[in-house]
Chains A and B, each alone.
Chain A
Amino acid sequence: MNRRKFLTILGSAGVVSALGSAKVAEASPASFPYYPDSWGVLHDTTRCIGCRRCEAACQKVNNLPEPKVPFTDLSVTEKKRHTTAYEWTVVNKYEVNGKPYFRKLQCFHCNDPACASACFARCFSKLPNGAVVYDGSQCVGCRYCMVACPFYVPGFQYDLAWDPLVQKCTFCEPRLKEGKLPGCVEACPVDAITFGRRSDLIKIARARMAENPGRYVDYLYGEYDAGGTAWMVLAPAAGGAPVPVDDPEGAGAEFKQLGLDTHLGSQPMGQLTYGALGAVPMIVAFWPVLFGGAWAMTKRREAMAKLEQEKIIKDAKDDLAAAVDAAVRKIGETEGEGAAERARQAMTETLKAREAQNSGDGHGEEK
């Protein structure tokens, strides 16, 4: 394992923050935006007013069920809501440095999505236009994609007995194809969500930072996080002194207050498992050799032990035969040939009987 890989593993485990390892990311080919011309959306939390129009638009253009709380009721933004199978985007209120801000939550349309990497039935795909889409026709409903998504995005239709599916923001893929804007972008009254080429959005974000000193944290969330995402977030700055670079914990504070994970590292989440998956062929190749060898050694030991055993038995038998011979000869010398013959017969019979008895009990021979 090279040093960089090791560092990023550590980084993902929460030791080095995403901000601290952003430089590493630039060098890593894996975080290269795969489709340079892909679309993206920039969410400027300093502009968002929490009006929930994007939620309403999303519900309308995607034919989602009516919400439990009407979109005109803004008080629900106080609660930290997640996206669900029926609410693909929600707006929550967060306290950042003591002031209230709003953030819109939806799928980030990651460059190299964890959900797609985790799905064992290949339901997700990252399209060249930037959208991460899901095809439920081969979904097994295991929900590993939900475990994998670092942003808690995909929802599951737990209430359905037949054909429950994973659901999430589609980037309004059908509308993009028709050349229309995503519903939420179109509906935003204050330009808090900007649609554009991902590469342009990064430039726009930098320009906004430069033109409004002190307004933004000098970091574009999603440029590198989790390997880069198509939807990116700008956070309001504390308005005070810039955060020292060697204090990654402090540097991420605004994003953390906005409910964003600053410890995801700059590698796509899926890469965390590639090492383990890469070990599979090694084990498949090596284990049978190892255990086969152990078995062969065991067999050989057993065979040697058996040979030795046989030799001992044979020696004992030879000894016995010699003794019987000697005894018979002695009897022949003193008692005559007839008696010797009878004695030999008696002794042979006894020995045979004993042998038969011995092999009768205990376990049989090994194969």
Chain B
Amino acid sequence: MDTHGIIIPTKDKLFNLEPLLSRTPGNIITWIILAVGFVITVIRFTVGIGSVTNLTEAQPWGLWIGFDLLCGVCLAAGGYFTTVACYVMGMKHFHSAVRPAVTTAFLGYAFVVVALLYDLGHPLRLPYMFFFPGTTSVLFEVGLCVATYLTVLFIEFSVAPMEWLAQKFPWLLTCRKIVIRVTILLTIFGVTLSTLHQSSLGSLYLIAPGKLHPLWYSPFMPMFFFVSSMAAGASMVIFEGLFAHKGVHQYMDATHLREADGVVLSFARAASFILFAYFMLKFIDMLVQANLPWLGTGWGAWWLVEMFGFVLLPALLYAKGARDGNVGLCRLTSVLAVAGIVLNRFNVSMIAFNWQLPSAERYFPSIWEICISIFVVTMIVTAYRFIVYNMPVLYEHPDFKGEEH
């Protein structure tokens, strides 16, 4: 096996922490961000939400919902997208992409919940929604689905840590067998839950037609959110690969490297189709809702920037990259596509939200809100690195080689 010198943790040396603790510039920046984040966390939970945010009565949801929740969940869509492609559609050549995608999806969702705790006035009461279920609320559906899906992702992901620890705790082998046997059930369960909560993130805003600009408000928002989450899922797999190949290249085995380019090209082609479809849907919706006159306004110009610059352009670039077999172009396009998704979620939740309010009452995130969001992203990256350095995610564990599931 071509290991590039992958350090497989052994029974006696379980942890491979050296790459996380060495004094590289990246690590030093990480430590600083984590330290600052910790301080803001203490302030947030001892002085109140108002002390670190610019939230108001008019804008009760700011960056923590707009970025950490809306974008976080959407960008973690790579998990369901990849597992469905591999297990349901039988595209076995994506197999090496499944574990990294499931890992990032699991981390993404886990930290969505962590970030949510900052935003809740009563973080410890989060489970109350199960005891006093407000079944008429879209938020209830979101909460229920995210909680269940997080559990599903945890089980799907658990194979990697179990393989990592199996030498020390052999009973984990039995658990692992069970999990692998129910993989397909988990996958189907997962895609159902994903459909529900990806779309219901869009449904959250259905209740506020007076607050969201007509170009973004639509009865079809749930569908828009779902369709764009598929494009986000495919794009995020490519986007993450871009960084993984820079940062943790030496942890990839030969299979992963061999399949990586194929994964990029196939996912780029899929994303291109989905983005085209999304573009058409949005455009037809705009015409049906008689929003054409709005296009002449500043909001219309902004909407066109989003639609042409961040939906149609990446669709075309993906199509070209996939046809020419140009992996580099596909990777660059994924940056644009991911930015487009973030822009769309920002528009719905912050920029075009409360568009009628005078500019003095408009919301702009405070520096501390931004810091917490950066802090959360840094925690995700650090957790991802820890996992990749220790667990068989980008390579197959030699003990379990050939045991595809």
Binding site for B on A (CB under 8 A): 9-10, 12-15, 80, 82-85, 114, 116-122, 138-144, 146-148, 150, 152, 154-161, 163-165, 261, 263-265, 269-270, 272-277, 279-280, 283-284, 287-288, 291-292, 294-295, 298-299, 301-302, 363-364, 366-367
Contacts and interface: CB of A to CB of B under 8 A. Distances in A.
B207 A291 contact: no
B218 interface: yes
A8 to B, nearest CB: 10
26 contacts: A9-B219, A13-B217, A15-B289, A84-B57, A85-B57, A116-B136, A121-B134, A122-B134, A139-B125, A141-B125, A142-B119, A142-B121, A143-B60, A147-B61, A147-B205, A150-B210, A159-B48, A263-B210, A275-B219, A277-B141, A288-B192, A291-B188, A295-B90, A298-B88, A302-B90, A363-B404
B121 A140 contact: yes
Given A288-B192, A291-B191, A120 B137 contact: yes
Contacts of B361: 80
A287 B405 contact: no
Given A147-B207, A270-B136, A277-B141, A14 B121 contact: no
A80 B57 CA distance: 13
A82 B58 contact: yes
A362 B138 CA distance: 49
B208 interface: yes
Contact of B55 (A158, A161, A270, A277): A158
A287 B188 contact: yes
Contact of B122 (A120, A139, A272): A139
Q: Which of B57, B84, B209, B211 counts the most chain A CB atoms within 10 A?
A: B57
Instruction: List the 4 shortest-distance A-B pairs measured between CB atoms, nearest first.
Output: A141-B121, A158-B50, A298-B90, A364-B402
B192 A284 contact: yes
B289 A80 contact: no
A265 B208 CA distance: 12
A119 B135 CA distance: 9
Contacts of B199: 276, 279
Interface string B172-213: 000000000000100111011001100110011111111100
A246 to B, nearest CB: 16
Nearest to B184: A295
A227 to B, nearest CB: 12
Contacts of B189: 288
B132 A301 contact: no
Interface in B39-57: 45-51, 53, 55-57
A146 B208 CA distance: 10
A140 to B, nearest CB: 5
Interface in B131-184: 131-134, 136-141, 143, 184
Interface string B19-55: 0000000000000000000000000011111110101
Contacts of B209: 12-14, 263-265, 269, 272
Nearest to A275: B219
A291 B122 contact: no
B196 A283 contact: yes
A142 B48 contact: no
B87 interface: yes
Given A122-B133, A288-B188, A161 B45 contact: yes
A324 B27 CA distance: 66
B203 A277 contact: yes
Nearest to B47: A161
B140 A273 contact: no
A263 B213 CA distance: 12
B358 interface: yes
Contacts of B205: 147
